[in-house]
Amino acid sequence: MHNPNKRVKVITYGTYDLLHQGHINLLRRAKELGDYLIVGVTSDSFDRERGKLNVRNNVLERVEAVRRTGYADEIIIEDYVGQKIDDIQRYDVDILAIGSDWEGKFDYLNEFCKVVYLPRTEGISSTMLRSESQFNYRLGMIGTGRIARRFVPESRFVSGVEITAILDPDIERAHTFAKENAIGASYSSLADFLQNVDVVYVASPHLTHYEYVKKSLLAGKHVLCEIPMVLSGVEARELYALAESKGLVLLEASKTAYCPAFTHLVTLVKSGVIGDVIDVRASLSKLVVGQQLRELDVLQAGGCMTELSPFPLLSIIKLLGKEYKDIQFYSKMENGVDIFTKGIINYPHAVSTITLGLGVKTEGNLVVSGTKGYVYVPAPWWKTDFFEVRYEDQNHNKKYFYTYEGEGLRYELQEFISMIIGGRLSSHRLRRSESCVIADIIEKYMNKESVILI
């Protein structure tokens, strides 16, 4: 029986990117349906309405814009598939209000509450506003290798940017790559290339990164550089200082750092869900065969530490910090490169290990141990789409599921363009100082500091 004294709760959902009068009208209409309005704002990782990753307003900015309308009594974040059912039951919702362009799509929720489709305001939408106001950055790519080939299709999922040029010292390779990937211009001259792009993505061999990044910054271009950005902490600090002096974004392209699941994992651990972190164990291996491959070429800085360590080191530094006490490496060498390396990094109150293999295969998981429980991320943990928080009492265990889109490169590009648009020179997901510490550790290894051969 209906209780006339019960508050009528209404819930509605949206991205609310570039908040406009149409959004405000819809929120007002939703509010008028009841006594209490809950507004679900889609997270940066869950914007499915446009098919492209948002680079204009991040979730905090969108939440604040909704709050300022004065219509929302409560604002929540929509972060996963199926959350609407959970929210309706958790908040004891009476009515789901949604725009009429979704007519029929949410009828299945009538089992849980009344579904009302509200008319949209004609002649205005976020898509229209973006098309009118958004500047498309001309992105120039340096490099035509394997990562570059994966980057091209990934870039199409990020709004506000378009690949317009490719650079390779071999002009024939540049022409071929441009033709195969429908890129308008190809160059072998860096100077000509830089004159015709707004931002630069460096995906060339490791040893060329420093020069390409520095010259691009000196030419006034924002730079996204593949990992490892450089193999020296001194060079990393120099490049970041140069970028800051010119007001430019320089971002190391660590796809794991910017993917939704890993970001959430770090947040959860730092919030204390497993207590004090005592041990972090991160592994990554891939078996490669053939001396012609860059990964196994000593002249191209091949080996486990230069090729694989940035991801495991990222997890340790994000969870335990930059101030480690000491480090010890154990390596198996072949033809001058390490095909297996284990690193033990000690902290004042914790210990951590990285296990890497190019000629040795190991389980590629991540385990974070704490005083109350632990986090387990199965292989391949660096493409995080699932992790579990586990306790002594298994009834308290909690699983977290995410969608890891495509190759994951879209996440690093999204963060890069968002930083440019928002005027942010540093990303909290991978701070410049953290990137420098990763470069420091790789440099220690290359200088054969604390390396024991096995």
pLDDT single digits (tens) 419-434:
998 889 999 999 999 9
Between helix 432-446 and helix 310-320 the angle, nearest 10°, is 130
Q: What are phi and psi for residue 142, nearest 5 degrees? A: -110, 115
What digits encode the pLDDT tens for the residues 69-120?
999 999 999 987 789 999 999 999 999 999 998 999 999 999 999 999 999 7
Distance CA 19, CA 72 (A): 14
Residue 79, domain CATH: 3.40.50.620
Q: Are residues 419 and 271 in the same domain?
A: yes
**What integer pLDDT is reported at residue 60 of this predicted model?**
82
What digits encode the pLDDT tens for the residues 366-398?
999 999 999 999 999 999 989 999 999 999 999
Sheet holding 114-118, edge to edge: 74-78, 36-42, 9-14, 95-99, 114-118
**What integer pLDDT is reported at residue 231 of this predicted model?**
97
For residue 247, is pLDDT > 60? yes
For residue 290, is pLDDT > 70? no
Tell whether 65 is covered by a domain. yes
Burial of 254 (0-12, 13-18, 19+ CB in 10 A): buried
For residue 211, is pLDDT > 80? yes
Domain that holds residue 210: 130-254
Between helix 209-218 and helix 233-245 the angle, nearest 10°, is 10
Q: Are residues 354 and 415 in the same domain?
A: yes
> pLDDT category, 288, cuts 50, 70, 90?
confident
- Choose one of 69, 91, 124: the last residue of a domain: 124
Q: Are residues 267 and 305 in the same domain?
A: yes
Tell whether 3 is covered by a domain. no
Tell whether 373 is covered by a domain. yes
**What integer pLDDT is reported at residue 183 of this predicted model?**
97
Domains identified in the chain, total number = 3
Distance CA 275, CA 269 (A): 8
Q: Are residues 246 and 375 in the same domain?
A: no
Q: Are residues 150 and 296 in the same domain?
A: no
**What integer pLDDT is reported at residue 160 of this predicted model?**
86
Tell whether 1 is covered by a domain. no
- Choose one of 92, 124, 156: the last residue of a domain: 124
Average pLDDT of the segment spanning 294-321: 94
Q: Are residues 278 and 245 in the same domain?
A: no
Q: Would you say the pTM of this structure is higher than 0.85? A: no
What digits encode the pLDDT tens for the residues 172-206?
999 999 999 999 999 999 999 999 999 999 999 99
Residue 388, domain CATH: 3.30.360.10
Q: Are residues 143 and 291 in the same domain?
A: no
> pLDDT category, 54, cuts 50, 70, 90?
low
Q: Are residues 178 and 59 in the same domain?
A: no
**What integer pLDDT is reported at residue 50 of this predicted model?**
43
Tell whether 415 is covered by a domain. yes
> pLDDT category, 346, cuts 50, 70, 90?
very high
Cis peptide before 205 (omega within 30 of 0): no
Q: Are residues 331 and 398 in the same domain?
A: yes
∠ Cα 325 321 419 (to 5°): 145
For residue 261, is pLDDT > 60? yes
Give the distance, in angstroms, between the CA of residue 388 and the centroid of all CA atoms in the same chain: 20
Tell whether 338 is covered by a domain. yes
**What integer pLDDT is reported at residue 1 of this predicted model?**
44
Residues of the chain with pLDDT > 70: what percent?
Answer: 92
- Choose one of 124, 152, 180: the last residue of a domain: 124
For residue 48, is pLDDT > 60? no
